[in-house]
Amino acid sequence: MSAPSYLRIAAAQLRRDLALVWARRGDALQPVLFAVMVASLFPLALGAEPGKLAPLAAGIVWVCVLLAGVLGLDALYRSDAEDGGLEQMLLSPAPLALLVAVRVLVHWLTTALPVILIAPLLAEMLALDRALLPVLMISLLLGSPLLSLVGAVIAALTVGLRRSGMLLPLLVMPLYVPVLVFGAGSVAAAAQGLDHGGALLLLAGGGILALVFAPLAAAAALRIVHS
């Protein structure tokens, strides 16, 4: 098949996955609500003084995005494995890595992006310096796709388990730590007047590498698990 045919198949899957998300839009709101709840706990625990919250604000927002993404990882391939959709993906004439990339895109659009859109509100609630908000938003836009791509590989490795439980978060969290460090660290560096471009470039570079290799690794893992 030609590349345009592959793209049509990928576009059809994208429309299908988004339609399924819209049909369960109540569930789709859970990552945003969870992120708001997590961010609200810190002012309650630390107090509402801006001097206490402001230094932690960027890290808190990053943790909210990270945890919101983890919530949806187990369902990334689970329903397909249960209803035969995974077999259809494996038998599709389009490359499995391309279909996995589409699934990762849907995961990012429905978990990370909504939280990123409300990140300015969370930052305001946590008393983040408004001058640092552009750096925070850029770091989230560069780093959050990397979280989804890495999580897709781990989710593919555990899809064969009937009850992954806490195994998936335990496996994926250590891999998320560098992204969290560079993402929140870029804002901290900007707050101190230091060069924060290096951290952002590392996030961008990691995202490009993950975009190339993560769908291939996830596709290989799905084939191994299904065999």
Domain ranges of the chain: 3-226
Among residues 10, 29, 77, 61, which one has the least CA distance to residue 187?
A: 61
Cβ proximity of 112 and 66 under 8 Å: no
Residues 196, 198, 201, 203, CA torsion sign? negative
The average confidence (pLDDT) of the chain is: 87
How many whole angstroms separate alpha carbon 32 and alpha carbon 25? 12
pLDDT at 3: 60
* pLDDT of amino acid 132: 94
Question: Highest-confidence range of 25-29, 41-45, 59-63, by mean pLDDT?
Answer: 59-63
d(CA 170, CA 78): 18
pTM: 0.91
Q: Greater confidence, 177 or 79? A: 177
In this structure, is the dihedral angle defined by the CA atoms of residues 58, 182, 167 and 14, taken in order, positive or negative? positive
The separation between CA 185 and the C-alpha centre of its own chain, rounded to angstroms, equals: 18
Whether 75 shows a pLDDT value over 60: the answer reads: yes
User: Of residues 215 and 27, which shows the higher confidence score?
Assistant: 215
- The closest alpha carbon to 177, from 165, 169, 187, 166, belongs to 169
